[in-house]
Amino acid sequence: FMLQNVFQSFFVTAEKPKLGLMVIVAAGLTNMVLDYVFIAVLGFGLKGAAIATVCGECVGGLLPLAYFGRHNKSPLKLGKTHFYGKVLIRTCSNGLSELMTNLSSSIVNSLYNLQLMKFAGENGVAAYGTIMYVNFIFVAIFIGYSIGSAPIISYHYGAQNHDELKNLFRKSLTLICIWAFALFVLAQFLAAPVSKLFVGYDRSLYEMTVMGFRIYCFVFLINGCNIFGSSFFTALNNGPISAAISFLRTLVFQLSAVLLLPMILGINGIWSSVAAAELLTLCVTITFFIRKRNYYHYA
């Protein structure tokens, strides 16, 4: 799992993003096919699902290892190395934002479920689960672009290509704003059919999910800039700022919003809490963009 994630960044840096995509798709298809074989055909049950998952991760992690371990057509190749303590420490500190994002999501999701059980019972948790399925797909667009553009930003920053860095920054924000509006409109149209697909068996649950989805999707207008902002400062080797954006976005503001807004708006406060947290984070992200623009020469 760790190799699969790390090598995706290597593929982009090595100018082989399509090969990285092929590896991820191959890993996912391996998992899907073996799920069917081990569970439906061979009757292994839960153990079969576990084995299929491991096989998929092996494809995603070991194929790149074989590719970079030999001579290839990319600029990168694995070779002998030494222990570089300072580099390792800087790398870990630069990844603080990703650490905070993953740690915070577990805490926040647990609190959301508790609040939903309190204000809406099991139906609230079921509706939230449906919304999260679609949210993961939409947010993946912002995350994918941010991760994919990070090595390019790092390269031009390190090479002091200030004009190209400015160009990347400007075009990235333009693209993200266009996607944000498009995803928001798409989410509004998809609210009813997606809710019917997952929870159409229960009328009251369906209506709750549609209402929650249409309130929640305002987050797509905002979160793209925050996701890119965190990744952007990571690419510029400024881990503390990146971590601050992620920490405020995924933990501090979301915890505050999900605890306070339901007291005022009831269950609608839960659906709108993520958008409120993202809006507060956007103010912080814009502040960092403005304050650091002359230091890094991206604007």
- pLDDT at 191 (0 to 100): 92
Q: Which residues of 228-259 are buried (b: 16+ CB within 10 A; e: fewer)?
A: bbbbbbbbbebbebbbbbbbbbbbebbbebbe
Q: How far apart are the first and last CA of the chain?
A: 37
Rounded to the nearest 10°, the torsion over CA 289, 216, 106, 99 is -20
Does the reported pTM lie above 0.85?
Answer: no
pLDDT tens-digit map of 28-58: 999 999 999 999 999 999 999 999 999 999 9
Distance CA 233, CA 184 (A): 26
pLDDT tens-digit map of 282-293: 999 999 999 999
Taking residues 226-248, report their average pLDDT.
91
Distance CA 290, CA 50 (A): 47
Q: Which of 92-96, 141-145, 231-235, 246-250 has the lowest mean pLDDT?
A: 92-96
pLDDT classification of 246: cutoffs 50, 70, 90: confident
Judged against a pLDDT cut of 80, whether residue 75 lies above it is answered with yes
Of 114 and 105, more confident: 114
pLDDT tens-digit map of 115-133: 999 999 989 999 998 898 8
- pLDDT at 170 (0 to 100): 95
Taking residues 267-289, report their average pLDDT.
95
Alpha helices in the chain (DSSP H): 2-13, 17-35, 46-68, 85-94, 96-158, 162-199, 203-216, 223-235, 239-247, 253-265, 267-296
Judged against a pLDDT cut of 80, whether residue 100 lies above it is answered with no
Judged against a pLDDT cut of 80, whether residue 179 lies above it is answered with yes
